[in-house]
Amino acid sequence: MAKILVTGGLGFIGSHTVVELQNKGFEVVIIDDLSNSSLDILDRIVSITGIQPIFEKLDLKDKLGVQTFFQNHKDIKGVVHFAASKAVGESVNEPLMYYENNLTTLVYMLQEVSQLEDSNFIFSSSCTVYGQADTLPITESAPVKKAESPYGNTKQIGEEIITDVCKVNSDFNAIALRYFNPIGAHKSAKIGELPLGVPQNLVPFITQTAIGLREQLSVFGDDYPTTDGTCVRDYIHVVDLAKAHVVALERLLGAKNESNYETFNLGTGTGSSVLEVIQSFERVSGTKLNYKIANRREGDVIAAYADTKRANEVLGWKSELSLDDAMRTAWNWEQNIRKNS
């Protein structure tokens, strides 16, 4: 079966995608610099799938290291590129770090992948490219507005870089997957979201607060023009998301793409407010959450949820797991890692 490179493959979405790729029979090579992940995730992947992926610790900012890697792996048939810094709030405070981590590394990757015999590239993009959309749900044809954060800007620029490569190289095939808010964990509770330090995302902060690791959750703003005043997002189960990457990759490998650059939204098509996510957690866990209302956070858009019709019809993919499924698996994962730590 085809050899596939997954960058950031020990991260949250990356590890789940590695599992789904291996379940489909792909040979997987993982690159990760372990800056926001840990090596024991590799063992956890093996315990789920029974297969040992090839692993190389590599910082993709090391251009020579990237070149050497591809010299040693010329038989790679496709790349799923996750490796990037991803916290909106942190990007506002550390813009240069985000531009270096997310764009320099992308350029180094594309320089090498475009020279492979099989240039198939899946880009981990984001709904942040849309900024605050004029209409909801958001379709792929929605205008890409000025980004609300440096993180969002790196995804916009990343897509522009890939588009330019595709224009001048008809043999280079890419799909940008614009996903909404990934949450949840594998049903085995062996892999899940495990941010180093204080979580920047809602759900791990919820589970860490519930288990006693954090004193209190802050809900940033309750005066937005939404049903309950809190921000609305499209929360997609990470396993559904991982499966979409496999489907997109199979589309490229099967030469079924309509053009050599395509974009797809990945979400559930339903928006949930921050308070609705908290209520879902309390419902499935039986635990009351300690939270407070805080000031709005810079860089946050009011509401964003996907129109998934294109992914449903063209990719033949749709999300299957619910918000409660995601919160239940996230809580099981949190309890499991604290029990074993």
What tokens appear for 251 in the block? Answer: 């589309």
Return the closest-CA partner of residue 91 out of 302, 304, 298. 298
- The helix (H) or strand (E) run that includes residue 123 is strand 119-126
Neighbours of 220 (CB within 10 A): 17
Could you tell me whether strands 3-7 and 76-81 are parallel, antiparallel, or unpaired per DSSP bridges? parallel
Separation of CA 28 from chain center: 18
Helix axes 150-168, 105-113, angle to 10 degrees: 20
* CA 76 – CA 245 distance, rounded (Å): 16
* CA 36 – CA 83 distance, rounded (Å): 10
For residue 148, give Cα distances in angstroms to 59, 85, 117, 129.
27, 16, 38, 9
Neighbours of 115 (CB within 10 A): 12
- The helix (H) or strand (E) run that includes residue 325 is helix 323-339
Tell me phi and psi for residue 218, to 5 degrees: -100, 125
Could you tell me whether strands 232-233 and 272-273 are parallel, antiparallel, or unpaired per DSSP bridges? antiparallel
Q: Which residues are catalytic?
A: 151
Residue 87, SS3 per DSSP:
coil
